[in-house]
Amino acid sequence: MDDAEHLGSVDPWYDLNGNSPSSELRVSLLGTAVIPDVSAAGAPTMTIEGSCLCGSVKYEVHSDLSDSGNCHCSMCRKVHGAAFATYATVAPENFSWVSGKESVSFYEASPGACRMFCSSCGSILGGTDSGRVTSVTVGTIDGDPGTRPRSHIFVGSMAPWFQISDDLPQFDEWPPGDEWA
């Protein structure tokens, strides 16, 4: 297959050329998790759908996803089998399972924080904190999630075989004051 065909399925939130995202997507880099204000507008602004590889697990996020980034820590690399993982923060009250919740397994990688994955196909779906879903993996979102990664975190322990080719901000561990994923 030629390059154009091969690249036809690249997710819209990932830039192969390493170009930086537009300026409006880089605001409030150091902000904490954004909690959408659903009371002011009366209703969440959009519904984002996600699913696992085999399709048995489906979920929805009833808000915009404004906070996402790439984590290079050793745990994310292991659990994804990849150079890094891309997560988006969600407010627990905006997350809901649509189907297949009984197929979701939870692995407590850190005290009180679990990685969620499909027991059938292994797709990593996101993470929980104290039993509540606080992040989703951007790779399991169907369609354009409307968010672009804003930073690379835990770069201090990134894989030696990977090179970051964009100019997003990099942090050795957590960004100051921030703790998503």
Q: Which residues of the shown chain bind Zn ion in the complex (CB under 5 A)? A: 52, 54, 56, 71, 73, 76, 118, 120-121
**Residue with smaller CB distance to Zn ion, 52 or 88:** 52
CB of 42 to Zn ion, least distance (A): 35
**Residue with smaller CB distance to Zn ion, 38 or 174:** 174
Task: Tell me the three-class secondary structure of 6-32, residue by residue.
Answer: HHHHCCCCCCCCCCCCCHHHHCCCCCC
CA 139 to CA 171: how far, in whole Å? Answer: 22
Residue 156 CB neighbours (<10 A): 11
User: How many degrees, rounded to 5, is the angle at CA 42 between CA 36 and CA 48?
Assistant: 50
CB of 4 to Zn ion, least distance (A): 29
CB of 86 to Zn ion, least distance (A): 10
**Residue with smaller CB distance to Zn ion, 50 or 145:** 50
CB of 5 to Zn ion, least distance (A): 26
Backbone angles phi and psi of 71, in degrees to 5:
-105, 125
**Residue with smaller CB distance to Zn ion, 19 or 74:** 74
Backbone angles phi and psi of 40, in degrees to 5:
-65, -45
